[in-house]
Amino acid sequence: MMMKETLTALILEKKAAMGLTWEGIAAGIGLSPVFSVSACLGMNSLKAEPAQKLVTLLELPPEALAAIMACPTKSWEKAVPTDPLIYRLYEIVGVYGPTMKTLIHEKFGDGIMSAIDFSMHIDKEPNPAGDRVVVTMNGKFLPYKSW
């Protein structure tokens, strides 16, 4: 069986060789760019139909189908990352996380935002002072229950 790490490397090779964009791959399999990239990088799995579309689109070997459909192990380095873009996201959560938590609790009560019933969009907003990155996260509120 093909491992997800091997599949990810193969997907990246095929994407580059074919001159495809993530938006093009996402459109080709019928899913959002964020979720498509996450699955291709091994952090999510695809259901049968989009998995088959991905295999066909990227001309992947048959064993890639089972790998892209396999449940992932979702883990990441616990240390603060050194990649500047990812580090800045950690910095945003570090600086604004308590503020976000406070405002979410004020609006919804005690609970969390789901990362399972969740969507995210990444957009580019032209701006004369420098283009802006727009990240929109939308997660179901899950209240803590008493028992």
Q: Is 77 a catalytic residue?
A: no
Q: Is 5 a catalytic residue?
A: no
Q: What is the distance between the alpha carbons of residues 136 and 34, in angstroms, rounded to a whole number? A: 11
List 91, 119, 125, 132, catalytic entry: 91
Mention every residue, 6+ apart, whose C-beta is less than 8 A from residue 12. 40
Rg (CA), the chain: 18
The long-range contacts involving 71-78, CB below 8 angstroms and separated by at least 24 positions, are: 71/45, 72/4, 72/42, 72/43, 72/44, 72/45, 74/43
List 5, 23, 88, 132, catalytic entry: 88
Q: What is the distance between the alpha carbons of residues 85 and 110, in angstroms, rounded to a whole number? A: 31
List 23, 59, 114, 119, catalytic entry: 114
CB 90 within 8 A of CB 80: yes
Dihedral sign for Cα atoms in the order 93, 74, 122, 139: negative
Q: Is 132 a catalytic residue?
A: no
Give the residue numbers annotated as catalytic, written as ranges.
88, 91, 114
